Amino acid sequence: MNAQTPNMHGSSRPVIRQLDEAAINRIAAGEVLERPASAVKELVENALDAGARRIEVDMADGGKTLIRVTDDGCGMTADDLPMALSRHATSKIDGSDLLDIRTFGFRGEALPSLGAVGRLTLTSRAAGSDAARITVDGGRTDAVRPAALTRGTVVELCDLFHATPARLKFLRTDRAEAQAIADVVRRLAMAEPHVAFTLRDLTGGQSRTILRADAEQGDLFDALARRLRTLLGPAFADNALRLDADREGIRLSGYAALPTYSRGAAVEQFVFVNNRPVRDKLLIGALRAGYQDVLSRDRHPAAALFLTLDPREVDVNVHPAKAEVRFRDPGLVRGLVVAGLRQALAGAGHRASSTVGGLTLGAFRPETAAPAYQMTRPSAATLDRALVMRAPHLASHQAPLAPGFAEATARYEPAPAVAAPDDTAFPLGAARAQLHENYIVAQTAAGIVLIDQHAAHERLVYERLKAERAAADVPSQALLIPEIVDLPPADAAMLIDHAAELAALGLLIEPFGGSAIAVRATPAALGRIDAAALLRDIRDELADQGATTALAARIDAILSRMACHGSIRSGRAMRVDEMNALLRQMEATPLSGQCNHGRPTYVELKLADIERLFGRT
């Protein structure tokens, strides 16, 4: 007979007991503090809630041996310090309304959790009071003592998880933990551009500044733009589009990069709700949907999105780390994000990423030759006399010198351009030539533009087909025998709730008794499809994001293929007027700076950069 386990009835019945305060704090720490970056997040958020205008973060060994956060906020008195180390003690809410939360922190768990798993020293000074210090080591609290501090608060955490050594085994390398800390500080610095942030690494006794962001001045948009330039670099800032949209009391602001400035991973996607950095799958899904027909599946958009709404319309008390949120009306929020992104991208017109031109210039490899000294170069007059001596008949000005002579180019007068002289004033300039029957060369007032004729025309045709589809419902093809799909009752009800939306896209469904759904017609453009598989895909997307783009995406994919086959093919020679007509259409068509797969349709090279290649500057 097997031995009786403790959870079975009998003489070994488990006894219910009250855990002591130290055990409670360690359990809470396991929820709040996953790694050193979690501790930094909680401490920096406390500093922001205290009204700090300057925050300094020091770490050593990836935060495992030292985390120190110094701020110039309102500070605390000596009487406040013991209370600050008590669980669920906070100055940020009074407990009467857990939905109206307007601060980063509100749970009152961070400091006692840190004191339970590490060696915590809290030094603070409030205006009109003396500075004081309190120390906690593995949950054991010492008495409050006088200290020296000008203002604000300093929180120093040493030997994180020394009281729970098993947790140390789950931490990553010092480098990985340090990168996670830098990411936390970077996100909070984006949320508060008017606050100065400094992050230093003190590993090995050396002080190395990892991140420095001075406080920005001006209105929020300008301050955010400068802060993003500091944190993400000038490439993002130069290729970012400003977002500013609102709907029913919800505002979307921030910056989103052009499709041609995309990344191979989702490393530059930052989402904030009421200035709180979050990792919300609904918002990330909406970000992806906003770029749906301008990016290929293996590319990821870059953006910093800020949603501002009534705190009562969003629940931030979903997870102890406060990284997840739940919206009262997720469909409204998702629709605003998608529409705001698409409007901004359409407003960019034909604009493409400036990094494309930079990469193109980098691909050029100018010849490296021995330097020619001025004293070895003959003068222009000497060259003229030499030409007359060698070929006297060329000295006559009755005909221009042949362009093949390198030294005679000053006298060569090219034939007049076919395009009107003022065509170069257009954004994409005037067509001058076609290379390899695929690339158009255009001259602008400030440089040259290289256009991929097939990719550009493909986008133009695709946008026209989409506009025609939007002007009328998608044609549907009735099924000779309706396809019956059995689904769980909740899934069937969810699909029927969206029947009108699906009908506008050519998919006609209706209840068929119980939890079955009858598919009566499918979009004609898709041809013969597995209606049951399509319905399940739509069901999964509705359950995951509250909205579906699966059907529209399939139809758009068909239109994209139609556009590809109906566009100007590579290898076709074009007349100058055809090339210029294509350029003017690109300038008038939204999203024409990239093809249907997210690749650039043109590259612009500035004259100054070209001259630099030839050493003319």
CATH code: domain of residue 163: 3.30.565.10
Tell me the mean pLDDT in the region 18-32: 66
Those residues whose C-beta lies under 8 Å from the C-beta of residue 584, and which sit 6 or more positions away, are: 426
Which residue reads 């209706």 in tokens? 510
pLDDT single digits (tens) 333-356: 999 999 999 899 888 776 665 666
Q: What DSSP string describes 21-86?
A: HHHHHHHHHHHH-SSHHHHHHHHHHHHHHTT-SEEEEEEEGGGTSEEEEEE-S----TTHHHHHTS
What does the pLDDT read at residue 411? 37
- Asked if the model's pLDDT at residue 72 lies above 80, the reply is yes
Q: Judge whether 57 lies within some domain.
A: yes
The edge-to-edge listing of strands for the beta sheet with 476-486 is 476-486, 516-523, 508-511
Q: Judge whether 5 lies within some domain.
A: no
Confidence category of residue 375, pLDDT binned at 50, 70, 90: very low
Those residues whose C-beta lies under 8 Å from the C-beta of residue 601, and which sit 6 or more positions away, are: 352, 451, 452, 455, 456, 459, 586, 592, 593, 594, 595
d(CA 538, CA 540): 5
Confidence category of residue 243, pLDDT binned at 50, 70, 90: very high
The mean-pLDDT minimum among 139-153, 433-447, 494-508 falls in 494-508
Tell me the mean pLDDT in the region 320-326: 75
The mean-pLDDT minimum among 262-266, 307-311, 405-409, 514-518 falls in 405-409
- Asked if the model's pLDDT at residue 6 lies above 60, the reply is no
Q: Judge whether 3 lies within some domain.
A: no
**Residue 95 or residue 449, greater confidence:** 449
Q: Which of 184, 213, 242 is the last residue of a domain?
A: 213
d(CA 91, CA 82): 13
Judge if 245 and 193 occupy the same domain: no
- Asked if the model's pLDDT at residue 402 lies above 60, the reply is no
The mean-pLDDT minimum among 102-106, 137-141, 427-431 falls in 102-106
d(CA 531, CA 550): 13
Judge if 497 and 545 occupy the same domain: yes
Beta bridge partners of 308: 251
The mean-pLDDT minimum among 47-51, 313-317, 471-475, 582-586 falls in 471-475
Judge if 174 and 291 occupy the same domain: no
Judge if 32 and 167 occupy the same domain: yes
Tell me the mean pLDDT in the region 595-601: 81
- Asked if the model's pLDDT at residue 556 lies above 90, the reply is no
Tell me the mean pLDDT in the region 20-26: 67
Number of CB atoms found within 10 A of residue 150's CB: 8
90 within 8 A of 107, measured Cβ to Cβ: yes
d(CA 307, CA 283): 10
d(CA 99, CA 104): 13
Q: CA angle, 180 as apex, 197 and 198 as ends, to 5°?
A: 15
Q: What is the percent of the chain with per-residue pLDDT over 90, rounded to a whole number?
A: 39
Relative to beta strand 54-60, strand 196-201 is parallel
Nearest to 596 by CA among 440, 427, 435, 466: 466
Q: Which of 282, 317, 348 is the last residue of a domain?
A: 348
- Asked if the model's pLDDT at residue 404 lies above 90, the reply is no
Tell me the mean pLDDT in the region 177-197: 96
What does the pLDDT read at residue 60? 96
Judge if 436 and 576 occupy the same domain: yes
Q: Whole domain around residue 57: which residue ranges?
A: 21-213
Helix segments in 546-575, DSSP class H: 550-566
Round the average pLDDT of the chain to a whole number and report it. Answer: 81
What does the pLDDT read at residue 153? 96
Judge if 93 and 25 occupy the same domain: yes
**Residue 549 or residue 194, greater confidence:** 194
What does the pLDDT read at residue 359? 62
Judge if 99 and 237 occupy the same domain: no
What does the pLDDT read at residue 592? 87
- Asked if the model's pLDDT at residue 440 lies above 80, the reply is yes
What does the pLDDT read at residue 380? 56
First-to-final CA distance of the chain: 92
Judge if 291 and 206 occupy the same domain: no
Q: What is the CATH number of the domain that holds 472?
A: 3.30.1540.20
Q: CA angle, 353 as apex, 445 and 573 as ends, to 5°?
A: 65
Q: Which of 317, 348, 379 is the last residue of a domain?
A: 348
Q: Judge whether 460 lies within some domain.
A: yes
**Residue 548 or residue 530, greater confidence:** 530
Judge if 264 and 297 occupy the same domain: yes
Q: CA angle, 132 as apex, 129 and 133 as ends, to 5°?
A: 160
pLDDT single digits (tens) 567-577: 777 788 899 99
Q: Judge whether 372 lies within some domain.
A: no
**Residue 300 or residue 613, greater confidence:** 300
Q: What is the 3-state secondary structure (H, E, C) of 167-207?
A: HHCCCCCHHHHHHHHHHHHHHHHHHCCCCEEEEEECHHHCC
Judge if 188 and 255 occupy the same domain: no
The mean-pLDDT minimum among 464-478, 505-519, 552-566 falls in 552-566
Beta bridge partners of 146: 132
Judge if 284 and 142 occupy the same domain: no
CA distances from 322 to 46, 83, 128, 279, 488 (A): 13, 22, 34, 9, 33
Confidence category of residue 409, pLDDT binned at 50, 70, 90: very low
The count of structural domains within the chain is 3
Tell me the mean pLDDT in the region 487-508: 86
Judge if 55 and 170 occupy the same domain: yes
Those residues whose C-beta lies under 8 Å from the C-beta of residue 523, and which sit 6 or more positions away, are: 474, 475, 476, 477, 505, 506, 507, 551, 554, 555
